[in-house]
Amino acid sequence: MEHLFIAGKASLPPILLLHGTGGDEHSLVDVAQFVAPDAPILSLRGDVSENGANRFFKRFADGSFDLVDLAGKTKELLSETKRLAEKYDLVFNDFVALGYSNGANIAANALLQEEEGFHYGILFHAMPAGNDPDKFDISHRRVFLTAGMNDPIVTQAASTTLERELESRGASVETMWTVSGHQLTMPELEGARDWYQKLSGDKYAI
């Protein structure tokens, strides 16, 4: 994958940026720098093209996820992140996967479906994939999840389902609801910043 790396303080949990459909490795840099000032940033560009728009995995014409492709691309994402973590002298398990929309969806899938997946996630407007949930324990994982009550893409029911899937497996989940739609809002960014600061203060402890 094409990527962008911005060095930061090694004492802070690094941020992995995963853009939404049509974005690239530059799309969320300002968001990361607001949420986690001075943190190392690794930003990836999805290598799936949907009518010229970058994505991290395929979906069908009706908007449903191609679960076979999602599974394969999730493994590729983790492998690439681990490779780049080694290259830039970062610890994979310290990464906070910060994703929006399509990027948040693949991050959520990694949290739920991969035993060696991310430990921490900031998921802006994510939805459940609809695949069969795995059973391994994820009580060591912490997630900040945001959802819009008027989101035309991710329904309230979908956001609630994802929240319950994470919590039922033991993850610590903090959810923020807004009255907005699918766009990012300042309260979400401020909430993510507060959550990240607490994570940093806890020194990655659960």
Task: List active site positions.
Answer: 101, 151, 182
The set of residues, in sequence order, having a beta carbon less than 8 Å from that of 162 and lying 6+ positions away, is 108, 123, 126, 127, 128, 145
Please tell me whether residue 71 adopts helix, strand or coil conformation.
helix
In sign, the C-alpha dihedral spanning 123, 141, 167, 109 is: positive
- DSSP lists the bridge partners of residue 55 as 48
The set of residues, in sequence order, having a beta carbon less than 8 Å from that of 143 and lying 6+ positions away, is 111, 120, 121, 122, 123, 166, 171, 172, 173, 174
Count CA atoms closer than 13 A to 148's CA, side-chain side: 18
Contact 166, 136 (CB under 8 A): no
Q: Indicate the angle between helix axes 156-168 and 102-113, nearest 10 degrees.
A: 30
| Distance of alpha carbon 48 from alpha carbon 19, whole angstroms | 12
